[in-house]
Amino acid sequence: MAEYTQDKPLRLAVVGHTNAGKTSLLRTLLQDAAFGEVSSRPSTTREVVAAHLLVGGEPLIALYDTPGLEDGLSLFAVLAEQQNEKLRHDGPAQIQQFLASALAADDFEQEAKVLRQLLQSDAALYLIDARDPVLPKHQDELDILRRCGKPILPVLNFTASAEANSQAWMDALARVNLHGWVEFDTVSLPDYGEKPLFEHLSTLLPRARALLQDLLRERSQRAVHKEQAAKRIVAELLLDVSAYAVTIKDKHNHDAQIQVMQKAVAEREQHCLHDLLRLYGFNKSAVNLPEVAVKSGEWQSDLFSSETFKAFGIKASKGVAAGGAAGASVDLLFGGMTLGAGTVMGAVAGGAWQTWQKYGRNLKHKMQGYYDVHIDEAVVRLLAARQQQLIKALNKRGHAAIEPLQLLNNEQKFENPEKFKKFFMLAREHPQWSSIDRTEHVDSNEREACIRLIL
């Protein structure tokens, strides 16, 4: 760790053929969907761009996004022509000789930028589009990069694609004595995440092992905190909706008031959605569900469709479906873990609102002809389900993904229904706990204890 400081960080050049996914890798490692430009157009990155990974709050790892290598075949031939017998076994000197030539400033300007950065770096991440066949141009550019004398870690990108030629690439790398490689899809993250990438780097860079271990440890802790924060965001949504109640006296105003409540709950779910996207570092255009699309910050599905309940395996009364209310309740299942300490969270897509259950908040209301309108439990279950599937998908989504997120409407299984039932009934007894239609909720130790039932 003492080897690298804020003033002299570990330097990693991200190199590879045009459109192999270099900027995509940077976005994913930085967890920043706004870094650089990701496009299917060739040569999107024209200059070397630096970014940093923080360890202990300090930028101790520098990542350099480099232009794509475009003409490895021709450059390989040029290097062969420039071959100096004295430099036959000195790859870095051969590259320096090329960089001093006029060709480096003219025909091979982009390649020269890559090679200069690699010579100045501690190692390279060599991005490979696993969907490409292994061609002579790729083999030539890899030979050129190896002449820089720096450790190279091949990274097979887009391995989740049905068109991936991963095994062919592994065989080709082995033939040039590169037996250490990593499969890392920057769009659809592998279950093991980025851990193997940094572990392989530790093998290539022994002096950086402690630093890279610290980075993995910090990232692991950050992931735990993010998960806890996501659970809290959803728990607040479910409590707000479960506790939400409106007192009505004029029965002729009933339908109008229900529409107001529907809109209020939909807006509250919007707020939850935006908080989750912001927590995971995605913008509002990141989600596109079969029945729930996020565009310009809006869920664009019919939140009141009875088909939505069916899609998520949530049973709702005919009144819930027909009445056009909104929501559902459930013990939040969270990827095998419960929302917080041991509840469940459901899956996302579509919507529906409840049969509004009418009962007097107290005898005084009954005497005066008032009644309370609440959100049906099935609606809260549906809201929980929507958030669970969204969170699961965001955990698997790389920050380089361009296409909107697609989620499937799979039936969800819920755990600990007794604990959720206790949460729901307790919240319903305390309308003052809901922030809907208020600038803020009424906080209390009892409210916090209720939330912790599903944390």
What average pLDDT does this structure show over 153-169? 90
State whether 147 and 281 are in the same domain. Answer: no
Tell whether the model's pLDDT for residue 166 goes beyond 70: yes
Write down the mean pLDDT value for the chain: 77
Cα separation, 329 vs 453, whole angstroms? 14
Is 90 exceeded by the pLDDT of residue 31?
no
Residue 155 lies in a domain: yes
Tell me what pLDDT residue 81 has.
87
Mapped onto helix, strand or coil, the DSSP state of residue 45 is coil
Q: How many percent of the chain have pLDDT more than 90?
A: 32
Instruction: Report the DSSP pairing between strands 49-55 and 58-65.
Output: antiparallel
Task: Please tell me whether residues 327 and 435 are part of one structural domain.
Answer: yes
Of 204, 239, 264, the domain-final residue: 204
**Domain boundaries, position 38:** 10-204
pLDDT at res. 407: 56
Q: pLDDT value at position 39?
A: 47
Which has the closest alpha carbon to 381: 409, 344, 356, 431?
A: 344
pLDDT digits (tens, 9 = 90+) for 360-397: 344 455 545 667 788 888 888 888 888 888 888 788 77
Q: Would you state the pLDDT for residue 403? A: 67
Pick the range with the lowest mean pLDDT from 142-146, 234-238, 416-420. 416-420
Total of domains in the chain: 2
Say whether both 167 and 281 belong to one domain: no
Rounded Cα distance, 405 and 374, in Å: 32
CATH of the domain at 87: 3.40.50.300
Question: Is residue 148 located within the same domain as residue 236?
Answer: no
- Mean pLDDT check: name the lowest of 147-156, 170-179, 320-329, 337-346: 337-346
Model confidence at 359: pLDDT above 70: no
Write out the two tokens for 404.
Answer: 């909107």
Q: Would you state the pLDDT for residue 96?
A: 94
Residue 195 sits in the same domain as residue 231: no
| Contact by Cβ (8 Å): 192, 395 | no
Q: Out of 171, 204, 237, pick the residue that ends a domain.
A: 204
Task: Band the pLDDT of 11: cuts 50, 70, 90.
Answer: very high
46-55, 233-242, 277-286, 439-448: segment of lowest average pLDDT: 277-286
Q: Quote the percentage of the chain above a pLDDT of 70.
A: 73
The rounded distance, in Å, linking the Cα atoms of 367 and 275 is: 42
Is 162 within a domain? yes
Q: H helices of 244-362, where?
A: 254-279, 306-311, 318-323
Within this chain, do residues 36 and 139 fall inside the same structural domain, yes or no?
Answer: yes
Closest CA to 374 of 244, 263, 235, 265: 244
Q: What are the CA-CA distances from residue 288 to residues 158, 194, 444 (Å)?
A: 21, 25, 37
Residue 186 has pLDDT above 80, yes or no: no
Report, in angstroms and rounded to the nearest whole number, the Rg of the chain calculated over CA atoms: 28
Same-domain check for residues 164 and 255: no
User: Is 166 among the domain residues?
Assistant: yes
Which residue, of 140, 171, 204, is where some domain finishes?
Answer: 204
Question: In sequence order, which residues have a C-beta less than 8 Å from that of residue 39 and are 6 or more positions away?
Answer: none
Rounded Cα gap, residues 174 and 163, in angstroms: 21
For the entire predicted model, the pTM comes to 0.74
- What is the rounded distance in angstroms from the CA atom of residue 409 to the CA atom of residue 385? 10
Let me know whether 280 and 382 are in one domain. Answer: yes
Residue 211's nearest CA partner among 429, 2, 389, 446 is 2
Residue 133: inside a domain = yes
**Residues 162 and 90 grouped into a single domain:** yes
Per residue in 218-256, pLDDT (tens digit) is 988 988 999 999 999 999 999 999 999 888 777 777 778
Token readout for 363 is 């005898």
Structure tokens at 332: 């939040």
Residue 89: exposure state from Cβ atoms within 10 A (0-12, 13-18, ≥19)? exposed
